[in-house]
């Protein structure tokens, strides 16, 4: 028997209600070709999994990590240990011995069977709620063959499959996965190629070409659904111009294929992750959009989107900071 | 009494109900809120040990608020606004004239009934402005009559305590109100007298004595109901306000009609039940009140057909009833033939709550053939209001566990949710539901000590010792309970409940006596099952399979609360082994084995009233205070931490989310237990992309019940708000927050602070990014 294909999975979320319809299990895959300045999952960007602390407060300063570290990278902070990123080569020895398990490899390598088994645990809930599995990341197409195989297996078991992608991949990769995908969640961050390069490190030409391929597929396969997602990053993509241009593009090129367009309001809650990776984040102190700003962006998007596209706004704003008395 | 008159948000507005209270109801809501906010409805118990073992060694039940049986103010614990009694301060005014004080206290039904009748005849009939349903009381009989078992009982109680068990016997059953609604107080009196005549002819002096006592009790109730009519008539003559006058006259007419005769309208039926509940709760703690939609629908339909009432008016009256007190009762379920029992009253029951919200205890009994629209509305109500009302129950599992115990189908099908996690066949059971307890930590700790002494080297040997110790605890528990059963019916009979039960009046034997009602299979709550499951799994892995630490090392670490040299590293090892509630088969299998073992052990033991014991995977609030009494445990728990709540995973150990916990839960077969609720605390953001919270809730509950779950208590709240309320007790803006604490609701800010703290530590199944 040939060795099973594996992929790095850095997080899972069961009963996810924001990544497609119904209750879903979202698998987050390691590795991303883009470098979005607002990225919420900085630990997932590099293909090689790093070692980090999932909860620095959990450290009991027992010194086990320092004892085994071959590069003397576990340095004392006074009330615990932290990783000296200059010395660390992510060998993972420390995570092996950490008694509190707060030191961990960002990602675990999963086989397709392992991933399928995990997803199937909640199958009755998908069946009842119209949910299923969502492959997210990182960038799931960093593991296109793995995801295609996983989706094929899960679809055969009656699980609804959703691909949450940035769209930066080869045409072959996206085409290979479409037959096994029920819903595509496709990011359009901005229409402007220079801005796109400035915000994400890459141009958007390939992404938009791929999107047209996807739209073509959706036109010919009415069972496949396409949602567009746009992150509303303050000072970058959260502008009326951006949304007007995306809306116009959807109207001109994708009418009839996009059933929903989600605007995702930025929040800075990933700041602790950057800190734990020893990185600085330019958006760490960025305030939430105000309720009025968000409402105006929603209005612009609704005005320009195709009539059949349902536009919705998610995420916190300043007037409704993650609480809801209703 | 002062009333809250300030303009404020009503539950109907805050929770987007389409049913709004009218001005009269708003007045009554104001009074309800004032009473809770001023601690007029609080229930107390003696001390922490009462919560852990359900027996304090001091009083024989919950602490009396005043009088000889009262607990000390320093020690007593406030369980929350959980009582029907309205506190007006001070002891019962006629305390010194109680017959038992004047003539001596005898442990007999005659002495008890003389006290009861005197007590009720000296309880005022109270009628408040704007009310159309009346009844309120301020003292319970145990505040005026001594309640103490003989010393032999306490002796066995302390032995049981030492081995980790306890319990009391009082109420916690469900009368069949259909009996009283059909006969009325006059009809019940006739029934008592007819039965007395029969037993006199048989020469059965014991039953004659009981029925004579019962007659005195019923006569005092008729007088009490009649006095409400007199009081309302008097108030009607004293007011010039036309609305108030009309209210008083309506109350007077209703009470006069039902003093002897059975109720003939829906409104009279609600009034009858309210006064029944009061005269019953006056003798101690409460009961469940059965299937309200089945009881009330005939009255409602007859009134509607006669043009006397419409749905809006029926809703208003039931809402008023809830505002006075919202006890455990049920809607839904199946008819005797198995078909869906949902009717128009089921809807009205939910709508009335939707209108007034807040504190209430009722549940809805789902089954696979339930009217889907009604079920959707139930989920919508609990998800919008977010405070555990209604509790969602699986009728088919409840009935299944009754059938498995051996009750015939015709009776079992009528099972009604009646208390926190328990259920009951109205009028046919007396089973101590929710008032007995086995603390499973204790036999495990003894097993560790013995295994060390005996140099045990294998898990199988260790397991055998554990099983033996669970058996010893169970034996001590059974001896203690049986001693109580010898005296209970004479010491503290439950005569009002007996009137609405099948058997007691016919036989002239109190409900609490031998050979009275059909079923006596005492229930026993098991405290700490998830902690023991996690601990036993940890012992098996760490001390036997991997041999990472010895039992002696583990024992020493628990004794020193993991403070010794290297013990924190050791604790982290045990703490980070798999834990129940994460859908991990290895440790979940241990939870099943632990539950099955204690079930088989207790089911193999019989009480002297006939039936075997039935375990419940639940325990009422003992988990909040038990930590320091029981010490650290091998699951990595520190001494000061609470225990797990019921069968719910230990605080903070379920890291995989709600569905994983639900899957772990349903690996247990709840047909075999008497209840085991899943407690869910959700942050509003958990509803994510859903437009309707009810939709998501229903999807969850449908699957959970299809897989065999038995009960869901759902709270929706913002943890930060509750933390703020806890940290700033002086803030009144959180006074409206009601939470489903275990199987009961209470206002968060009115609970004991230790309860508040424990509640905050529970996992919020949330998602914030």
Inter-residue contact B492 to B510 (CB < 8 Å): no
Compute the mean pLDDT over every residue in chain B, rounded to the nearest whole number. 94
B734 in A contact zone (CB under 8 Å)? no
Give the pLDDT of residue A156: 98
Give the pLDDT of residue B769: 32
In chain B, what residues touch A40 (CB-CB under 8 Å)? 769
Q: Could you read off the pLDDT of A200-240 as tens digits, one per residue? A: 999 999 999 999 999 999 999 999 999 999 999 999 999 99
| Structural domains in chain A, sorted by start | 6-46+107-314 (3.20.20.70), 55-105 (3.30.70.20)
B686 in A contact zone (CB under 8 Å)? yes
Task: State whether residue A170 is helix, strand or coil.
Answer: coil
Give the pLDDT of residue B729: 84
Q: Could you read off the pLDDT of A257-298 as tens digits, one per residue? A: 999 999 999 999 899 999 999 999 999 999 999 999 999 999
Cα–Cα distance for residue pair B9/B385, rounded to 1 Å = 13
Give the pLDDT of residue B359: 87
Give the pLDDT of residue B766: 56
Q: Which residue has the tokens 């979005």?
A: A36
* Alpha-carbon dihedral B707, B712, B717, B723, rounded to 10 degrees: -110
Give the pLDDT of residue B752: 84
Cβ-defined contact of A99 to B702 (cutoff 8 Å): no
B652 in A contact zone (CB under 8 Å)? no
Among residues A115, A120, A154, A131, which one has the least CA distance to residue A11? A115
Nearest-neighbour CA in chain B from A129: distance (Å): 6
Give the pLDDT of residue B765: 66
Torsion sign across C-alpha atoms B685, B688, B694, B696? negative
First to last CA, chain B: 49
Phi, psi angle pair for B643, to nearest 5°: -90, 170
Residue B484: asked if its preceding bond is cis (omega within 30°), the reply is: no
Inter-residue contact B554 to B634 (CB < 8 Å): yes
Segments of chain B with pLDDT less than 50:
1-7, 767-769
In chain A, what residues touch B660 (CB-CB under 8 Å)? 14, 121
Q: Which long-range contacts (CB under 8 A, 24 or more apart) does B35-39 make?
A: B35/B86, B36/B81, B36/B359, B36/B747, B36/B750, B37/B4, B37/B732, B37/B735, B37/B747, B37/B750, B39/B78, B39/B81, B39/B87, B39/B750
Give the pLDDT of residue B768: 38
Give the pLDDT of residue A326: 32
Cα–Cα distance for residue pair A271/B397, rounded to 1 Å = 47
Compute the mean pLDDT over every residue in chain A, rounded to the nearest whole number. 94
A18 in B contact zone (CB under 8 Å)? yes
Nearest to A325 among B14, B656, B702 (CB): B14
Q: What is the pTM of this model?
A: 0.95
Torsion sign across C-alpha atoms B651, B653, B658, B661? negative
Give the pLDDT of residue B80: 78
In chain A, what residues touch B658 (CB-CB under 8 Å)? 14-15
A270 in B contact zone (CB under 8 Å)? yes
Cβ-defined contact of B659 to A15 (cutoff 8 Å): yes
Give the pLDDT of residue A321: 42
* Partners of B524 in the β-ladder: B615
Q: What is the DSSP letter of B636?
A: T
Give the pLDDT of residue B378: 98
Cβ-defined contact of A124 to B707 (cutoff 8 Å): yes
Mutate to test the interface with A, among B549, B683, B689 (most CBs of A within 10 A): B689
Phi, psi angle pair for A131, to nearest 5°: -95, -160
Q: Which residue has the tokens 């027996």?
A: B55
Residue B390: asked if its preceding bond is cis (omega within 30°), the reply is: yes
Give the pLDDT of residue A315: 83
Q: Which two tokens stand for residue A67?
A: 């004892």
Q: What is the DSSP letter of B741?
A: -
Percent pLDDT > 70 in chain B is: 98
Task: State whether residue A4 is helix, strand or coil.
Answer: coil
What percent of the residues of chain A are helix, what percent strand, and what percent coil, each to the nearest 5? Answer: 35, 20, 40
Among residues A218, A141, A231, which one has the least CA distance to residue A188? A231
Strands B391-394 and B711-716: antiparallel
Q: Which residue has the tokens 């099943």?
A: B592
Nearest-neighbour CA in chain A from B640: distance (Å): 18
Cβ-defined contact of B14 to A269 (cutoff 8 Å): no
Cα–Cα distance for residue pair A17/B50, rounded to 1 Å = 42
E strand or H helix at B558, and its extent?
helix B551-559
Inter-residue contact B675 to B688 (CB < 8 Å): no
Give the pLDDT of residue B763: 62
**b/e map B657-683, b = 16+ CB within 10 Å:** bbbbbbbbbbbbbbbbbbbbbbbbbbb
Q: Which two tokens stand for residue B25?
A: 């109801």
Give helix B529-539 / helix B441-453 axis angle, nearest 10°. 20
Give the pLDDT of residue B63: 87
What does each C-alpha distance from A200 to A165, A190, B489 come to in angstroms?
Answer: 14, 10, 79
Inter-residue contact A46 to A31 (CB < 8 Å): yes
Question: CA-nearest residue of chain B to A268?
Answer: B769
Cα–Cα distance for residue pair B387/B736, rounded to 1 Å = 11
Question: How many CB atoms are located within 10 Å of the residue B719 CB?
Answer: 16
What does each C-alpha distance from A213 to A207, A225, A226, B761 come to in angstroms?
Answer: 10, 14, 12, 50
How is A237-252 classified by DSSP, letter by letter? Answer: T-SHHHHHHHHHHHHH
Strands B738-740 and A51-53: unpaired
Give the pLDDT of residue B424: 97
**A vs B: CB pairs below 8 A:** 87
A259 in B contact zone (CB under 8 Å)? no
Q: Which residue has the tokens 């007859």?
A: B302
Strands A183-187 and A160-165: parallel
Q: Which two tokens stand for residue B392?
A: 């969602």
Q: Could you read off the pLDDT of A5-53 as tens digits, one per residue? A: 999 999 999 999 999 999 999 999 999 999 999 999 999 999 888 999 9
Cα–Cα distance for residue pair A28/A139, rounded to 1 Å = 8
Question: CA-nearest residue of chain A to B15?
Answer: A326
Q: For B454, how many CA atoms within 13 A lie in the half-sphere containing its CB?
A: 13
């Amino acid at each position: 028997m040939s060795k099973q294909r594996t992929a790095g999975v850095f997080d899972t979320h069961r009963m996810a209600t924001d990544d497609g319809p119904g209750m879903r299990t979202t698998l987050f895959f390691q590795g991303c070709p883009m470098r979005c300045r607002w990225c919420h999952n900085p630990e997932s960007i590099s293909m090689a999994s790093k070692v980090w602390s999932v909860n620095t407060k959990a450290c009991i300063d027992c010194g086990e990590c320092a004892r085994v570290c071959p590069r003397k990278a576990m340095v004392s902070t006074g009330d615990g240990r932290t990783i000296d990123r200059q010395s660390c080569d992510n060998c993972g020895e420390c995570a092996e011995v950490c008694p509190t398990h707060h030191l961990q490899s960002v990602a675990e390598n999963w086989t397709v069977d392992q991933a399928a088994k995990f997803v199937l645990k909640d199958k009755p809930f998908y069946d009842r709620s119209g949910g299923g599995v969502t492959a997210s990341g990182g960038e799931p197409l960093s593991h296109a063959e793995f995801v295609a195989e996983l989706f094929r297996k899960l679809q055969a078991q009656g699980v609804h499959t959703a691909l949450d992608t940035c769209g930066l991949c080869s045409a072959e990769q996206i085409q290979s996965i479409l037959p096994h995908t029920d819903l595509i969640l496709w990011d359009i961050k901005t229409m402007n190629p220079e801005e796109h390069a400035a915000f994400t490190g890459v141009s958007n030409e390939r992404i938009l070409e791929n999107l047209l391929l996807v739209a073509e597929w959706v036109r010919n396969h009415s069972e496949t659904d396409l949602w567009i997602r746009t992150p509303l990053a303050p000072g970058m993509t959260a502008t009326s111009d951006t949304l007007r241009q995306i809306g116009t593009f959807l109207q001109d090129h994708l009418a009839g294929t996009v059933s929903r367009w989600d605007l995702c309001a930025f929040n800075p809650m990933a700041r602790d992750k950057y800190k734990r990776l020893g990185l600085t984040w330019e958006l760490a102190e960025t305030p939430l959009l105000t309720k009025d700003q968000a409402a105006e962006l929603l209005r612009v998007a609704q005005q320009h989107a195709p009539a059949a596209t349902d536009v919705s706004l998610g995420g916190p704003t300043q007037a409704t900071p993650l609480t809801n008395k209703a | 009494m002062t009333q809250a008159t300030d303009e404020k948000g009503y539950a109907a507005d805050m929770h987007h109900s389409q049913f709004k209270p009218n001005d009269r109801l708003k007045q009554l809501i104001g009074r309800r809120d004032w009473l809770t906010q001023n601690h007029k409805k609080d229930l107390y118990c003696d001390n922490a040990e009462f919560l852990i073992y359900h027996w304090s060694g001091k009083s024989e039940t919950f602490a009396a608020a005043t009088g000889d049986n009262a607990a000390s103010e320093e020690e007593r614990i406030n369980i929350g606004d959980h009582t029907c009694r309205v506190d007006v301060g001070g002891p019962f005014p006629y305390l010194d004239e109680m017959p038992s004080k004047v003539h001596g206290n005898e442990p007999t039904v005659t002495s008890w009934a003389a006290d009861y009748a005197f007590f009720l005849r000296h309880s005022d009939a109270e009628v408040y402005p704007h009310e159309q349903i009346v009844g309120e009381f301020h003292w319970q009989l145990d505040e005026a009559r001594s309640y103490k078992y003989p010393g032999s009982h306490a002796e066995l109680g302390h032995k049981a305590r030492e081995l980790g068990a306890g319990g009391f016997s009082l109420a916690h059953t469900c009368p069949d109100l259909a009996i009283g609604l059909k006969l009325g107080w006059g009809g019940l009196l006739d029934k008592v007298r007819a039965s007395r005549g029969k037993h006199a002819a048989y020469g059965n002096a014991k039953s004659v004595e009981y029925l004579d006592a019962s007659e005195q009790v019923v006569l005092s109730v008729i007088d009490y109901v009649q006095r409400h009519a007199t009081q309302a008539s008097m108030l009607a003559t004293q007011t010039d306000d036309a609305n108030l006058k009309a209210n008083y006259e309506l109350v007077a007419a209703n009470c006069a009609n039902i003093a002897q005769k059975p109720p003939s309208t829906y409104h009279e039926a609600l009034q009858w039940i309210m006064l029944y509940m009061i005269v019953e709760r006056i003798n101690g703690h409460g009961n469940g009140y059965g299937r309200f939609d089945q009881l009330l629908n005939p009255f409602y339909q007859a009134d509607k057909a006669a043009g006397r009432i419409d749905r809006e008016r029926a809703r208003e009256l039931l809402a008023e009833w809830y505002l006075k007190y919202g006890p455990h009762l049920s809607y839904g379920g199946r008819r005797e033939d198995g078909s869906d029992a949902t009717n128009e009253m089921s809807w009205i029951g939910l709508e009335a709550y939707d209108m007034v919200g807040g504190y209430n205890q009722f549940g809805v009994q789902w089954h696979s053939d339930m009217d889907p629209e009604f079920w959707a509305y139930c989920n919508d109500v609990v998800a919008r209001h977010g405070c555990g009302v209604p509790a969602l129950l699986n009728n088919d599992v409840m009935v299944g566990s009754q059938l498995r115990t051996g009750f015939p189908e015709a009776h079992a099908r009528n099972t009604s949710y009646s208390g926190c996690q328990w259920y009951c066949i109205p009028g046919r059971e007396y089973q101590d539901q929710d008032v007995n307890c086995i603390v499973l930590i204790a036999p495990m700790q003894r097993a560790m000590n013995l295994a060390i002494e005996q140099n045990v080297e294998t898990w199988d040997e260790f397991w055998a010792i554990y099983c033996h110790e669970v058996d010893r605890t169970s034996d001590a528990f059974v001896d203690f309970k049986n001693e109580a059963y010898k005296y209970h019916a004479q010491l503290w009979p439950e005569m009002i409940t007996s009137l609405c039960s099948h058997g007691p009046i016919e036989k002239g034997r109190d409900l609490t006596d031998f050979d009275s009602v059909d079923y006596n299979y005492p229930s026993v709550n098991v405290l700490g099952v998830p902690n023991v499951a996690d601990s036993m799994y940890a012992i098996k892995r760490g001390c036997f399979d991997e041999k990472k630490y010895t039992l002696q090392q583990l024992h020493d670490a628990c004794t020193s609360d993991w403070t010794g040299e290297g013990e924190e590293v050791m604790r982290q090892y045990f703490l980070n082994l798999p834990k129940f509630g994460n859908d991990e088969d290895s440790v979940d299998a241990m939870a099943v084995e632990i539950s099955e073992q204690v079930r088989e052990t207790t089911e193999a033991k019989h009480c002297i009233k006939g039936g075997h014991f039935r375990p419940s995977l639940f325990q009422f609030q003992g988990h909040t205070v038990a930590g320091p009494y029981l010490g650290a445990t091998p699951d990595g728990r520190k001494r000061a931490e609470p225990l797990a709540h019921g069968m719910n995973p230990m605080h903070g150990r379920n890291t995989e989310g709600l569905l994983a916990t639900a899957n772990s839960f349903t690996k247990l077969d709840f047909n075999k237990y008497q209840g085991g609720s899943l407690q869910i605390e959700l942050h509003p953001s958990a509803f994510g992309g859903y437009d309707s919270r009810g939709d998501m809730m229903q999807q969850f509950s449908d699957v959970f019940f299809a897989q065999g779950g038995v009960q869901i208590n759902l709270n929706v709240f913002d943890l930060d708000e509750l933390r703020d309320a806890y940290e700033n007790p002086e803030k009144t803006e959180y006074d409206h927050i009601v939470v489903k604490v275990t199987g009961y609701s209470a206002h968060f800010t009115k609970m004991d602070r230790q309860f508040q703290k424990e509640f905050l530590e529970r996992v919020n199944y949330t998602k914030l990014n």
